[in-house]
Amino acid sequence: MVPPRSNAFRIEELSRAEIFQFAQAQVKKRGMDDGALEIVAQLPAVLPDDHHDLSLRGVLRVLDDLEALSEIRDAAVVMIHASEACIVRSLSISFHPQV
């Protein structure tokens, strides 16, 4: 008989509190605001026990998604401000024609 290449071992499931502590550490490490932590804190209340996002990998996935949404929001704000500046400049030119 060929010996196995690796030994299998059982890892205890993490509690919801341990997952939340991990999320807190990740939010702090990433420099995210408390809003991200509030969203992650709500996951245990709305997800069933066996849901894939109630894991360390799931928390990382949710935080990655929140960071991506934050970047999209920030880019949209920059675009809105640029558009507003163009509109103001356009209105200024139309009300004050150059002679």
The candidate with the shortest Cα–Cα distance to 23, out of 58, 69, 72, is: 58
| Tokens at 82, concatenated | 């640029």
What percent of the chain is predicted at pLDDT more than 70? 89
For the cut 80, the answer to whether the pLDDT of residue 79 exceeds it is yes
* pLDDT score at 30: 92
Q: What is the mean pLDDT of the chain?
A: 82
Hey, where are the domains in the chain?
16-95
Cβ-contact 63, 27 below 8 angstroms: yes
Region 82-90 average pLDDT: 81
pLDDT tens track for 19-58: 889 989 999 999 998 888 888 888 777 877 777 778 889 8
Residues 6+ apart with CB under 8 A from 63: 23, 26, 27, 30, 32, 36, 40
